[in-house]
């Protein structure tokens, strides 16, 4: 029996052809390359040109068998970008259909849609606030005029975007969407900036440098009434007090414009008015001030028109007379 000797170059070529077909199932590779070495040996014996490109030979075998080229028959990519883009493009419509198919969610969606102008307004304010958040977090000044103007412009632009106006042809849908995303992300930082600004304003108002109480005080405690005693130690009434420049010494302060001075102190509730001897609306520097009877206040805590006046209760009926003063019984001390 004669054994056919195969040229090693043919064996190498056949192995390369099979390697070019390795994306196919093993059965298909066997069917396409069955007897390949023998065929190539016969071709070489007949004097046919040598085959130099095993990949091209493999492609011819694919085509002869009706199989797709290797590039089209390769493994599918892990992520189909075209499919992802299509899904994202149709996601809003799919979500809308899912919501509309449920009555409860559909009613909520209708409510939210009707409230879109509210969100447009908030979006404009938040975007302007995000641009000025550094100023809010570090400034102790009152809100300047330019910031009010910027906020108004931001609201108008945001509302117009929501209505589909003032937008370029390209990006007509993307610009409002991106603006809404940025606004949502900026809400928490803006809230922190605004609360910091507001707390700083309160600190300025109630600090010693920014807040000065009015009216008479004693060691920082407001005085609500004054009781004067004569040299004999007896309580005086209708005593007019002025400072060194002739300004009335009032417990209310110079800017007080009310008819009743009321509040609470360590004794309790008090309601004071000037004495009837004071001309016109003056008399807040005539002491002691007289009290209104709380029993005659209305349901809102305000004095009625016929509220009687009573003498304010002094800290003590009389005090020690001064040395050399005439005492009430006519004797000399």
Band (pLDDT 50/70/90 cuts) for residue 118 is very high
Residue 286 vs residues 82, 143, 222, 257: alpha-carbon distances, Å: 90, 43, 17, 16
CA distance 49 to 72: 30
- Number of residues written out for the chain: 333
Mean pLDDT of 131-156: 86
CA distance 144 to 264: 38
- What are the pLDDT digits (tens) for 92-114? 766 777 777 788 888 888 888 88
Flag whether pLDDT at 264 surpasses 50.
yes
CA–CA–CA angle 55, 56, 62 (5° rounding): 90
- What are the pLDDT digits (tens) for 224-258? 889 989 888 888 888 888 888 888 888 877 667 66
Residues 6+ apart with CB under 8 A from 86: none
- What are the pLDDT digits (tens) for 175-223? 888 999 999 999 998 998 888 888 777 665 555 444 566 777 777 777 8
The domain ranges of the chain are 8-73, 115-206, 214-333
Band (pLDDT 50/70/90 cuts) for residue 158 is very high
Band (pLDDT 50/70/90 cuts) for residue 120 is very high
pTM of model > 0.85: no
2 class by beta-carbon count within 10 Å (0-12 exposed, 13-18 middle, 19+ buried):
exposed
Classify strands 261-264 and 228-229 as parallel, antiparallel or unpaired: unpaired
SS (H, E, C) 282-305: CCCCEECCEEECHHHECCCCCECC
């Amino acid at each position: 029996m004669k054994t056919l000797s195969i040229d090693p170059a043919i064996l190498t070529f056949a192995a390369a052809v099979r390697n070019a077909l390795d994306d196919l199932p093993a059965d298909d590779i066997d069917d396409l390359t069955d007897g390949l070495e023998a065929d190539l040996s016969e071709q070489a014996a007949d004097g046919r040109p040598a085959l130099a490109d095993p990949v091209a030979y493999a492609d011819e075998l694919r085509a002869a068998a009706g199989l797709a080229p290797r590039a089209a028959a390769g493994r599918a990519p892990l992520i189909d970008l075209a499919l992802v883009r299509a899904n994202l493009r149709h996601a809003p419509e799919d979500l809308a259909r899912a919501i509309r198919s449920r009555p409860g969610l559909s009613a909520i969606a209708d409510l939210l849609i009707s409230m879109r102008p509210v969100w447009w307004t908030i979006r404009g304010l938040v975007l302007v606030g995000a641009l000025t958040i550094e100023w809010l977090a570090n400034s102790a000044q009152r809100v300047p005029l330019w910031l009010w103007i910027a906020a108004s412009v931001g609201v108008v632009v945001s509302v117009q975007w929501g209505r589909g106006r003032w937008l370029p042809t390209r990006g007509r849908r993307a610009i409002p969407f991106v603006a809404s995303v940025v606004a949502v992300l900026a809400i928490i930082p803006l809230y922190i900036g605004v609360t910091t600004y507001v707390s700083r304003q309160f600190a300025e108002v109630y600090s010693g440098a920014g807040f000065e109480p009015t009216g008479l005080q004693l060691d920082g405690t407001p005085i609500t009434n004054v009781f004067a005693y004569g040299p004999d130690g007896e309580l005086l009434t209708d005593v007019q007090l002025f400072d060194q420049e002739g300004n009335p010494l009032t417990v209310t302060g110079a800017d007080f414009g009310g008819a009743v001075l009321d509040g609470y102190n360590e004794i309790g509730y008090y309601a004071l008015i000037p004495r009837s001897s004071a001309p016109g609306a003056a008399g807040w520097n005539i002491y002691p001030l007289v009290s209104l009877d709380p029993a005659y206040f209305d349901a809102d805590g305000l004095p009625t028109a016929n509220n009687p006046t009573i003498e304010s209760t002094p800290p003590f009926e009389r005090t020690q007379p001064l040395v050399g003063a005439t005492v009430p019984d006519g004797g000399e001390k």
